[in-house]
Chains A and B, each alone.
Chain A
Amino acid sequence: MKFLQSFKLALQSILKSKMRAFLTMLGIIIGVGAVTVIVGLGNGMQNYITASFESMGTNLVQVNIQGRGASRTVSVDDMYALVDANPELLSYVSPMVGISGTVKIGSENIKTTSVSGVSEDYAKIASSELTDGRFIQYVDVLRRQPVCVVGSYISKNFYSGNAVGETLKVSGTAFTIVGVLKEDSNSEKGGSDDIIYIPYSLAAKMSWTGTISSFVFSGSDSETVDKAVTTIKESLYKVYKSYDYFSVVSMSEMLDSLMTMVNVMVIVLGAIAAISLLVGGIGIMNIMLVSVTERTREIGIRKSLGAKQKDILGQFVIEAATTSALGGIIGILFGALLCAVGTSIISSLTQEAITVAPSFTAVLGAFSVSVAIGIIFGYLPARKAARLNPIDALRYD
């Protein structure tokens, strides 16, 4: 009852001096807006990263061998043997040989396409499906056949969907397209559909080192991926007698560490933005102190009519909280606007579809924090008002 009355009075006085109220809220608006955008950006990045990892499968294990000269090496056969020896942990393995040469289709040079040498099992490891033709086969690897499988972007863009049977050149070598992969992410340039797979044996020959140093394993179960990582590490340790010459990382570990990185970034940036909330709180306190002085007579009148200390305290705290809550709402709207702008800027600059959008909990949190700031920073001025001596207050003009 008194709460409603105080709330109504607070809204009235805010509406009566809009400019002053706006300036009072500005710190809160900027703070809440900034936190909203930062959390939104963090969420967008995490969603994007998760989505791209999920399309690859999280039970993949990536092995990179930095090596230790020629004396100790692991061969492709060693890796296959590892899979055979641990069927309960590992399902497939494929070497990964990156080619940095240019792709030439017809007379056009394409620089965005990523070209990798893989085995016939790679389709199963990466859960890639084909819309046309076939994947690379064991005989292609064995005979180093110049055949390739292309992503949907290449097929759509350069062959209007009928790529099978056509040829393209990678670093001067002509390849026959034998299969087209199913679209993974909107067939965008530079995305996961702008790819070419060739037999790893041929890729190794084309790459200037001629060695194979990366492998991808698929774990048989996402529950046992950690155990698979340990098993691979142990067997590589037997070869190198040290953990320094290779790295074995599961996709879920990689995902975890990326998520942690994004979280840290959000927390650091968010903390910086939160300083603005503090400044906003001080702004509210300042205006509330002015307001208490301006309304000394009103306080005196209310006390003469029987207002208790807690009534006056409540009135001013509610007014401060209403001001900051309103600032919080405007800040959230402002942040949502910035998020929309951010999304379109990112997509126009990088062609990546990162949606900048804060979670509902973040928005709710920002709102609660702004109300809390109003209560905390409004308390001191409100207490000053509540403790005024009624006669002095009545006499004040």
Chain B
Amino acid sequence: MTPLIEFKDVFKIYNMGDNVVRAVDGISIQIEKGEFVAIVGQSGSGKSTCMNIIGCLDVPTQGQYMLAGKDVGTLNDNKLAEIRNKMLGFIFQQYNLLPKLTVLENVEVSLLYGNVPKGERIDRAKKALDRVGLTDKLEHTPSQLSGGQQQRVSIARALAGSPSVILADEPTGALDSKTGRDVLALLQELNREGNTIVLITHDNSIAATAQRIIRLADGKVVYDGPSGGKGAVVHAEDEEAVSQ
């Protein structure tokens, strides 16, 4: 079976004059449908760059990224937009809701770009908001909600498009620990319901929520295995020792 996500020796190299930054330095990974994977690593290790590539917001400078068996590198801007719309759901640290729209409208946006007819659009948006427990906030604007509620709106927005992968970049970064745990619990539930989730975090305890951990350091994979696995934690300590 073809993996849902496959990196074949992917590089992302920034040429800043004489300074060369190897943000992603030869990564090969595979993620199957239904997995809950945490990409973990210190700040600057290349996690966000990886997520941008997985999310078709960015393209590798070298190597192949196959999404559901399709080579993303060969696609044009329009096709990439279509893939983001149909196959990917984003959850950002800063929620990234549109402040002028209501909660319901925010969730509808991606369906709007997917040309989903109005009735179905509203249905699906409401269902997604119901799933995250915000049925009573449909007509609120984001500024009227708490941080945790806003993040749940963005989860609903990601869900509404029924994507193949949900990408969450530091989803708890702006939340207090209790609300953060709730959000992680929600992601776990969504994974149990069959959603593929890629969680990006610098925090080992948060990464432990996932079944599988991919640890990055300086753009390279230094650990790839179950979250309970020995290397996941050992490497973290090594890394901290190195960085100190």
Contact = CB atoms under 8 A, between A and B. Distances in A.
A302 B110 CA distance: 8
A308 B112 CA distance: 12
Given A303-B81, A304-B84, A305-B84, A311 B98 contact: no
B228 interface: no
A306 B86 contact: yes
Contacts of B58: 391
Nearest to B52: A391
Interface in B136-184: 157, 161
Which residue among B55, B58, B84, B161 has the maximum number of chain A CB atoms within 10 Å of its CB? B84
Interface residues of A, number: 23
Given A305-B109, A305-B157, A390-B57, A1 B84 contact: no
B118 A394 contact: no
Contact of B100 (A2, A13, A311): A13
B90 interface: yes
B19 interface: no
A301 interface: yes
Contacts of B100: 9, 12-13, 16
B115 interface: yes
B78 A306 contact: no
Contacts of A300: 96
A115 B25 CA distance: 104
Contacts of A394: 57, 92, 96
Nearest to B157: A305
Given A5-B112, A298-B98, A394-B57, A306 B82 contact: yes
A235 B113 CA distance: 80
Main SS class of interface, A:
helix
Given A1-B112, A1-B115, A306-B84, A301 B98 contact: yes
A309 interface: yes
A13 to B, nearest CB: 7
Nearest to A300: B96
Interface in B92-147: 92, 96-98, 100, 109-110, 112-115, 117-118
A297 to B, nearest CB: 8
B96 A2 contact: no
A16 B99 CA distance: 13
Interface of A: 1-2, 5, 9, 12-13, 16, 297-298, 300-309, 311, 390-391, 394
30 contacts: A1-B115, A2-B112, A5-B112, A12-B100, A16-B100, A298-B98, A301-B97, A303-B57, A304-B55, A304-B57, A304-B84, A305-B84, A305-B90, A305-B109, A305-B113, A305-B157, A306-B84, A306-B85, A306-B86, A306-B110, A306-B114, A306-B161, A307-B81, A307-B113, A308-B77, A308-B81, A311-B113, A390-B57, A394-B92, A394-B96
